Amino acid sequence: MPIDFELSEGSKLAQAHYRQVAVDQMRPISRKYDLAEHHLPTEWVDYWWDEGRFSFHDKAENKTAPNDGFVTVCLQAEELCWGDAGLYLRMPTPALGGSAVSSAGTNEQREQFMSAFREKGGHPIWGAMAITEPQAGSDAAAIETTADFDADTEEWILNGTKIFCTAGEGASTADGGFIVVWATIDKSAGRGGIKSFVVMANTPGMELIGCEKKLGIRASDTATLRFDNCRVPKENLLGSAEVRKKGPTKTGDKGFKGAMATFDASRPIVAAMATGVGGAALDFLKEELENQGIQIRYDTPPRELTAIERDVIEMEAELQAARLLTWRAAWMMNTGKRNNLEASMAKAKAGLAVTKITQKTVQILGPVGYSKKLLVEKWMRDAKINDIYEGTQQINQLIVARRILDYPSAMLR
């Protein structure tokens, strides 16, 4: 089935709507919460909880193509990160925790843990995912947090520390929120022993240690969580408790592979976030150049272009390449096609592109671009995280190489 890069009418309506949200709700408070790190952006959270409970995409469903739902999710991410990437990450949504439940959970678990985000009323809540540990960063298989089963109480007991948990503060403290925690039930089984568990907010034994002070996305809460004999019900294990040490995955066993499938959905969203930040910088740069009487001559041979014109055209090409890779990965997700190669390609390309675009924008604008008079320097700081989280640039390039060459992880590290 060929991919059509033309957006549906519903997606176009959603795109325009989210751009207006970015302009009206996010840009006016962007600098405020960049400076006020770790302060809850109450006006944005309250607005989004009311606005975002039901997707704008649903309101335009009569104009929506049947297979563009996840494409519109990526359009939402791009447009809102054009507004402010940190505020986007602070939205009260299921986020990565919800992606994990959807990827590895049962229908009953999806209903149980996601229902609060669909019901009207109530206070804002968040979902989050806890993977990274002090000794286990890009290599998720090196996780040391343990989960032991207590047969007497039919509970799992979690012990360990998780760092860099996006939305971890809100998800661990706001009633109704939850954290999906990756832990091993059998260290000797390696990847086969790693499972994911849903820990509801304010569960005894789960402690919020603090939030990171960061270079960018400062409006986002990036938490450290400690689990000390934290007990969760047996039913909170996502997928099967069966440990697979060797051989093919058993039917229904969604353990490590099921948890890793979360990234097939999250990486295109991160790539879309990157194109949003890159688009913000590039749009601003072109507007400033136009105000100074500098026009980009697209019909002129490259040898006759100025250095600035060549830079802008190259930046536009990089951004569009990242965007189209992102839409491709999202389209494949919609149609049920395996997209782990395409998701990593989009993430790797977008991370590089947004880093180059924002740095070049600051450089072209000179001292004023480097100053806090403009948001440009903030976009440069916000950009770099897209090259790091959800798998670093190097990890995603490694995944791409393995998929193209059809090599297992043991043969290509």
Q: Which fold has domain 98-254?
A: Butyryl-CoA Dehydrogenase, subunit A; domain 2 (2.40.110)
Based on the residue annotation, tell me whether 304 is a catalytic residue of this protein.
no
Burial 45-83 (b: 16+ CB within 10 A, else e): bebbbeebbeebbeebeeebbeebbbbbbbbbbbbbbbb
What are the residue ranges spanned by the domains of the chain?
9-93, 98-254, 262-405
pLDDT at 251 over 60: no
DSSP 64-92: --TT-HHHHHHHHHHHHHHH-HHHHHTSS
How confident is the model at residue 258, as a pLDDT?
Answer: 65
User: 48-52, 159-163, 304-308, 343-347: which has the minimum mean pLDDT?
Assistant: 48-52
pLDDT at 65 over 80: no
How confident is the model at residue 8, as a pLDDT?
Answer: 87
pLDDT at 298 over 70: yes
User: 24-28, 138-142, 271-275, 407-411: which has the minimum mean pLDDT?
Assistant: 138-142
Mean pLDDT of the chain: 91
Residue 90 CA, chain-centre distance (Å), reads 11
User: 138-152, 297-311, 334-348: which has the minimum mean pLDDT?
Assistant: 138-152
Closest residue by Cα to residue 397 from 350, 331, 364, 365: 350
How confident is the model at residue 4, as a pLDDT?
Answer: 67
How confident is the model at residue 116, as a pLDDT?
Answer: 87
pLDDT at 119 over 50: yes
pLDDT at 54 over 70: no
Going by pLDDT thresholds of 50, 70 and 90, the confidence category of residue 3 is low
For residue 197, the SS3 value is strand
Give the pLDDT mean for 228-247: 86
262-405 carries CATH number 1.10.3720.10: no
User: 35-44, 83-92, 131-140: which has the minimum mean pLDDT?
Assistant: 131-140
Range among 76-80, 249-253, 407-411 rated most confident: 76-80
Higher model confidence: residue 204 or residue 6?
A: 204
pLDDT at 253 over 60: no
Give the pLDDT mean for 62-83: 81
- Pick the catalytic residue from 78, 79, 309, 390: 390
